[in-house]
Structure 1
């Protein structure tokens, strides 16, 4: 009889450890998107330093459109092969990571 009661106590004790609830952890991710004002410029108005940097870095790239903001940063819409993308550069032809 002692063994039966001891076994029941062990089983009930082990079941109570599984009944605990795990703490709920919630993590919130906030994303802030800052949109800068770019105005379209003619391709002839793009500085030669940017055109030269584009030819050096991406020889097969075709410049489709160009945009400029108030701080003279240029956004370039380019096509390389069958892929289209955007590049950013300052007026001196230095690439900007955005």
Structure 2
């Protein structure tokens, strides 16, 4: 199971991993997070690079290359497993909520 250190992903973490299903770099990740979340989630550079460092240290993502001043990353198999587990947990919560008619 991929959840050694992380019990649940925050929204910025979740969206960041979504942007790394394909190779991506910092500025594009921030833009993609905002686009995927329809403007609801915005990640600043400090948060982004803190998360990238943490995810890379834990083997959830890996750096792929550096081009000019841009460093590119991609999600690893461990990261994909974590993302899938989080997706399933969120889906289960949504399904559970649907069973309560007052929501």
- TM superposition score normalised by structure 2: 0.25
Q: Greater strand percent: which structure?
A: 1
Q: Greater helix percent: which structure?
A: 2
- TM superposition score normalised by structure 1: 0.26
* Larger Rg computed on CA atoms: 1
Higher relative contact order structure (alpha carbons within 8 Å, sequence separation ≥ 6): 2
